Amino acid sequence: MTKTATNFTPGPWRLDRSVRDSIFVEAGHRGINERTIVTVSLTETEWEKRNVGSFQECVARTKPVKTAEADAYLIASAPAMYEALNGLANTVDGFRIIEEEIRAAAGNTNWEVLQHWIDEARNALALARGEKP
């Protein structure tokens, strides 16, 4: 499997709900290299940017609360999803060496649908790296 270089904070990311009205998505080990990726507020207000030391933190405020919680879980799972999608795309790319056999067994349409979704996966991975697909 090919590992693609990224500039984002490596995972795993986790949720911290120690503050009543916020969910923090954090990376690093608690107390050592700990970094807040994003703060999802559970109160109803607009986006806000704050300077925190040498970092700029974005506070995402969403309503309703269930949506905010779901957003936080989705954000926290981003590094794992990136790695899983990258691994899947690389694995399926390896099947190209037996493309004729796959087309014979599964049909041309199935192969083309599979290739379409691998292209979509590669585009999503490029977007996550800040590149144009």
Is 25:73 a contact under the CB 8 Å cutoff? no
| Per-residue confidence (pLDDT) for residue 46, from 0 to 100 | 47
Write down the domain spans for the chain.
Answer: 1-76, 78-133
Is 50:22 a contact under the CB 8 Å cutoff? no
pLDDT tens for the chain, residues 1 to 133: 445 667 788 888 888 888 777 788 888 766 666 777 877 777 655 445 555 555 555 555 556 777 778 888 888 999 999 999 999 999 988 888 998 998 899 888 888 898 899 999 999 999 998 898 8
Is 133:126 a contact under the CB 8 Å cutoff? yes
| Per-residue confidence (pLDDT) for residue 63, from 0 to 100 | 62
Instruction: Tell me whether strands 32-41 and 55-61 are parallel, antiparallel or unpaired.
Output: parallel
Who contacts 34 (Cβ-Cβ below 8 Å, separation ≥6)? 26, 27, 28
Q: How far is CA 129 from the centre of its chain?
A: 10
**What does the buried/exposed string (b/e) look like for 47-73 if buried means 16 or more CB atoms within 10 Å of the residue's CB?**
eeeeeeeeeebebbbbeeeeebbebbe
